[in-house]
A and B are shown apart, each in its own frame.
Chain A
């Protein structure tokens, strides 16, 4: 045993690259085999011909990408972006004030942060179910409203685009609050004092100092909400009414009932491309924020 051990150590000493790759190797193998290669196969499938019982047949076609210009699919694409952008905006409007309060909360800070992170770690499926429990016709909100005599018959809230938005905002709000909090926390308070001394009113201090300096957090938060919204599948599936509400549902449907794998692959690839573009924009903006770090 000792011989093997010494020999392998000596071998590693002579080759620092080999040492690094012996650590990286197993994990890299797994990521290449079960992340990178599947995505490449998916991309290849998106250019192949549809098989009758699912799967693909040999051939090359760009028909599946062209199909997205069909008004039916353009509408799904458009609705996905519209729902995601509205949700991001709601999260920003609701999340910014909360992040601001947490950053200025003094001794309550840790508790408040913990309460933001807590729902973030509870199962997404369970949280989506909790939304159904609240929103459905015989759910809690309708039961309360009827008890108060505000309504006579239940309002339909579940299976509407509004329910999908509520579910997404509920699901991803912590993603908005945490990065904004992080940049507000870092904000140099002496800048605000300087502004005050120089005669800036509270509103001016906010719009001219606090908000611009917290922009990196705002951008990060918006992307962290936008990305999972674009790719969401479970929320529109359970809270949305129609079969194909967002791209995620379209993809799923192509692999189950519609049995059009190449088209599903193309849709899936468009989704992935949209997300990567968003990430790249984020990285560009992040590198260009001179005020964040000193």
Chain B
């Protein structure tokens, strides 16, 4: 780079990065502290052991996993189909459809949560894990479409045409050519959907009922009650799960298209 950056600018950037990462770093470090106060008294796994003593935490983890896996499966399938249609087909009402697809991304979560609460109440559907899953599928579809669509647009369409010319019908071509090429994109979309479902608080808050406490809802309840280092411990565990998932999603997203033909 010919242009040198002024020192003050670099210093300022370093400060912003420091402030951006300090809170999480401190949170993780103090989850290993033996004291409950913000004075470092020594390394300890005490707060993690406390987590194991609480059955509600395991129950919440189970609820989060059930919702996360179910909503990921459904939203990935529905989102992938939409992405295929958008990339390959001309159809009437496309602009309107794209509105339906992209408005959920910018709609405030609280609006989505409240409107679903109203829907479930209006049709007397009892709130629970099923309503949470329905809501998560709804907000995940659009994100899966965005990720998978990006993948399709980078794909080699000639392979599909070649397969068809060689006598394969649409269904065979789809399973033998399209899906293997698209796989990393689908996987990246699925991992992203899982992270968003696993992390979601606001929408879940409004559509959950008695006995359907997911991990974020439990953490919220703990934070409201009293601040103690077990929350740091549980937060650290959530961070590990989401960071690992995002890391994998990123790797699959970048993987070059391998044509397994």
Contacts and interface: CB of A to CB of B under 8 A. Distances in A.
A290 interface: no
B109 A41 contact: no
A24 B24 contact: no
Given A41-B115, A265-B114, A129 B81 contact: no
A67 B207 CA distance: 27
Interface in B218-246: 219-220, 223-224, 227, 231-232, 235, 238-239, 242-243, 246
Nearest to A26: B78
B39 interface: yes
A30 interface: yes
A246 B5 CA distance: 40
A260 to B, nearest CB: 12
Summarize A's interface: helix, strand, loop or mixed.
Answer: helix
Contacts of A234: 201-202
Interface in A1-20: 5, 9, 12, 16-17, 19-20
A30 B26 contact: no
B91 interface: yes
Contact of A130 (B9, B13, B27, B195): B27
Contact of A268 (B111, B170, B238): B111
Contacts of A265: 114, 118
A279 B106 contact: yes
B179 interface: no
Given A20-B89, A115-B21, A123 B100 contact: no
Interface string A168-205: 00100100000000000000000010000000000000
Interface size band for A:
35 or more
A251 B138 CA distance: 21
Interface string A266-282: 00110110011001000
Contact of A24 (B85, B109, B134, B223): B85
B23 A133 contact: yes
B118 A119 contact: no
A12 B170 contact: yes
A116 interface: yes
A242 interface: no
11 contacts: A20-B90, A24-B81, A26-B77, A31-B101, A34-B137, A115-B21, A125-B216, A173-B20, A228-B108, A252-B110, A268-B115
Interface of B: 1, 3, 5, 9-10, 12-13, 16-17, 19-24, 26-27, 30, 37-39, 77-79, 81-82, 84-85, 89-92, 97, 100-101, 103-104, 106-112, 114-119, 121-122, 134-135, 137-139, 141-142, 145, 169-171, 195, 199, 201-202, 206, 216, 219-220, 223-224, 227, 231-232, 235, 238-239, 242-243, 246
Interface of A: 5, 9, 12, 16-17, 19-21, 23-24, 26-28, 30-32, 34-39, 41-42, 45, 54-55, 94-95, 97-98, 100-102, 104, 106, 112, 115-116, 118-119, 121-127, 129-134, 136, 138-140, 143, 170, 173, 192, 227-228, 230-234, 238, 248, 251-252, 255, 261, 264-265, 268-269, 271-272, 275-276, 279
